[in-house]
Amino acid sequence: MSSRKIVYISKGLPKEKQYNGQDFRSGIWKEQADELHVRSHRIEEDDVANHAYHGGPDRVVCLYPFEHYAHWERVFEQPLDKSAFGENVTAENMREDQVCIGDVYQFGDAILQVAQGRYPCGTINKRNGNNLLLKKIIETGYTGYFFRVLQEGIIKKDSPIVQLSAHPLQVTVASIHHLYFHEKSPDPKVIQRMLEVEELALPWRQKLLEKQQKS
């Protein structure tokens, strides 16, 4: 496997913006940074606007795979800004199908654990001025994902990424997204296997339980 690598890191506080003539406030606009000071519940000088639906201990660090940028630029035939998805870390060889819930990585001297995939919302469209982007993200599963913090520390833009442990059940971020959004009659055994990953964050656990009840 090719080596994992940080391409750039980003942070930012919520900003007031306008979209289609309406005001809204969001933390999705980030600026590139030289380092991130990662604490147990948040990154310093970084925040979300709506704490009811974003942020919290299972969504401290957001990562978006760098490879997807080229895909979106081909699909929409236009360039994207850096951190166009509001991520803190943009990295290579860390795609949703390469990363499992419960995997543990060291970024610089911060130790992080994959907690959940990102449940994309319409703010991504507003951030990029593209009303089709959210739909395409759901279709592809190119969502990015979140880490919880096991050890606070500083991530620098040239910090190495080291995998410290791989979760034994090997449930990828991509597999959960695909089952939830694209499988009308999922195998109950597959759902149960996903639910056995204790490290899966509560919001996605609840989504899978709802899916299980309907199957």
pLDDT confidence of residue 156:
98
Per-domain residue ranges of the chain: 5-167
How confident is the model over 43-97, as pLDDT tens digits?
999 987 666 556 689 999 999 999 999 999 999 999 999 999 999 999 999 999 9
How confident is the model over 25-47, as pLDDT tens digits?
788 899 999 999 999 999 999 98
What is the average per-residue pLDDT within 125-142?
95
User: Does residue 146 surpass a pLDDT of 60?
Assistant: yes
User: Does residue 21 surpass a pLDDT of 90?
Assistant: no
3-class SS at 112? strand
H or E element, residue 12: none
- The domain covering 5-167 belongs, at the CATH homologous superfamily level, to PK beta-barrel domain-like (2.40.33.20)
Q: What percent of the chain has pLDDT over 90?
A: 82
Retrieve residue 200's tokens.
Answer: 């899966």
Q: What percent of the chain has pLDDT over 70?
A: 96
Pick from 111, 120, 181: nearest CA to 148: 111
3-class SS at 139? helix
pTM: 0.94
Average pLDDT of the chain? Answer: 93
Pick from 211, 12, 188, 6: nearest CA to 106: 6
Q: Flag the least confident range among 105-114, 122-131, 144-153.
A: 122-131
The full DSSP string for 55-107 is -STTSSEEEEETHHHHHHHHHHTS---TTTT--SEEEES--TTT-BTT-EEEE
